[in-house]
């Protein structure tokens, strides 16, 4: 039997990248998958990929920085599939690269609204439903930028540190109620976000792989699927003693 047969998994920001890979992995393991993104085209494409492979999925448009959207998203998942067992709070943006003294308030607000407030709003709604159902598993997406500093990315670094703080606190508050909350911290992963950062940092003169491969002790950046494998495992019964963990999946980046 598939690991998540009869279970429901919600993944925000699953129209591309790590979110899409996670949605596909959950579907392959038998879950009913709720795909959510602020970009409908990408989200619908993820659903089509799941359907083509014989899985079950629905798409719901949502802005995670909007409390009404988040409440509707989680309620919609429960209405469609009758339960919410797993949630992956993946939606995030990188913003603009600049030293802190040159950062704009608008850039800071935009990043914090999605990465930090969005994670808070999603956690709040997911926990409320999981409490009523007797438990569940939640994985938040932080970053190696939640563990160390990155010059030029102060708002992003602040937002990802905030995700780790919320993860640990939620784990302590709800672990005894059967809700396991953990976080993963990807390093350089082959996604559009990394491409955007590379373009900003090098003016388009170097690809994300050219810029980031040498920075990882393993010798290369990672794939979305490599992160998805860890996320889905953390939601599985095999990770039943994992609570409040903050796990780098980074090819040794923060071990340096």
Q: Considering only CA atoms, which of 245, 241, 234, 236 is closest in space to residue 168?
A: 245
Integer Cα distance of 220 and 191 in angstroms = 13
Count of Cβ atoms closer than 10 Å to residue 56 Cβ = 15
Angle between helices 118-133 and 154-174 (to 10 degrees): 20
Which residues have a Cβ under 8 Å from the Cβ of 234 and sit 6 or more positions away?
137, 139, 180, 182, 184, 242, 245, 247
Classified as helix, coil or strand, 140 is strand
Structure tokens at 116: 């930090």
Pairing state between β 179-186 and 246-249: parallel
Integer Cα distance of 40 and 62 in angstroms = 9
**Phi, psi values for residue 92, rounded to 5°:** -170, 160
Q: Is 81 a catalytic residue?
A: no
Angle between helices 40-52 and 17-28 (to 10 degrees): 30
Name the catalytic one among 81, 108, 156, 174: 156
**Phi, psi values for residue 208, rounded to 5°:** -60, -35
Question: How many residues appear in the chain?
Answer: 256
Catalytic (active-site) positions = 156
């Amino acid at each position: 039997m598939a690991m998540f047969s009869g279970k429901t998994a919600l993944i925000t920001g699953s129209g591309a990248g790590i979110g899409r890979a996670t949605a596909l992995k959950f579907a392959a393991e038998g879950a009913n998958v709720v795909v959510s993104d602020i970009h409908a085209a990408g989200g619908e494409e993820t659903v089509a990929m799941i359907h083509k492979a014989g899985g079950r999925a629905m798409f719901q448009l949502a802005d995670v920085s909007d409390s009404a959207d988040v409440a509707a998203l989680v309620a919609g998942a429960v209405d469609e599939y009758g339960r919410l067992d797993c949630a992956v709070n993946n939606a995030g943006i990188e913003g603009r690269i600049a030293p802190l003294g040159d950062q704009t308030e608008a850039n800071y607000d935009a990043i914090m609204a999605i990465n930090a407030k969005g994670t808070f709003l999603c956690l709040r709604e997911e926990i409320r439903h999981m409490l009523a159902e007797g438990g569940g598993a939640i994985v938040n997406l932080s970053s190696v930028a939640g563990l160390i500093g990155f010059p030029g990315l102060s708002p992003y670094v602040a937002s990802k540190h905030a995700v780790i703080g919320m993860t640990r606190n939620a784990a302590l508050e709800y672990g005894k109620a059967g809700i396991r909350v953990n976080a993963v911290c990807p390093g350089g992963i082959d996604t559009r976000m990394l491409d955007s950062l590379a373009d900003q940092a090098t003016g388009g003169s170097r690809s994300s792989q050219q810029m980031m491969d040498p920075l990882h002790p393993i010798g290369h950046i990672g794939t979305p699927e490599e992160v998805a494998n860890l996320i889905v495992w953390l939601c599985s019964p095999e990770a039943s003693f994992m609570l409040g963990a903050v796990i780098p999946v980074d090819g040794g980046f923060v071990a340096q």
